[in-house]
Amino acid sequence: MKRALLCVLVLAVCMGLSAQQAQELKTIAIWPFQDNGIFEAAGIDEGELRQLYDEFSVHLANTGKVRVADRRDMDRMIREHDWQGGIWSDKNKTVEVAKSLNAHWLVTTKLVQRSNGIRVLVEFTDLNTTQLMGGATPRTVANVDALFDEMEIIILEAVRKSNNVRRDTGAK
């Protein structure tokens, strides 16, 4: 009987710690890739781009360090507010959308075509302070296929190098 009570107590403590840990995770809003026409030039269609975005989101969520805001909610909100493509270049609108998704941080991915491949930069920005919190060291991949292949490595490095990725700033 004592063992059963002890097991129940240990289980309750572990469940409580898991719930607290989940509350401490930052919610991340992922902005569309800033690709400067790289995907179009490579013949990447909308479906493949969505797949890349989905893989990016899954890899980021699988780190266990963050929660990822649902892209469908972001798309719906942009449609409801009748915001056009300019939202991505308007910092105030960008922050407004991300905060309305209860995101703490914004993740941006910039891609630049270079003579030796595609340069990839992933950055995390705190939405409360608009302070750059870190990201992956810029990395060059050979082509779009290599970007798909190396996405998990790039994300793991970005999360590892971001400052205090689990500390909750209280932003809502």
DSSP string over 100-151: HTT-SEEEEEEEEEETTEEEEEEEEEETTT--EEEEPPPEEESSHHHHHHHH
Check if CATH label 3.40.50.300 holds for domain 26-161: no
Each residue's pLDDT expressed in tens, for the chain with a length of 172 residues: 433 333 333 333 333 333 444 458 889 998 888 888 888 888 888 888 888 888 999 999 999 999 999 878 877 776 776 665 555 556 677 777 778 888 999 898 888 898 999 999 999 888 888 888 888 878 899 988 898 899 899 888 888 887 555 444 444 3
**40 close to 115: Cβ distance less than 8 angstroms:** no
The reported pTM is 0.71
Distance CA 141, CA 120 (A): 7
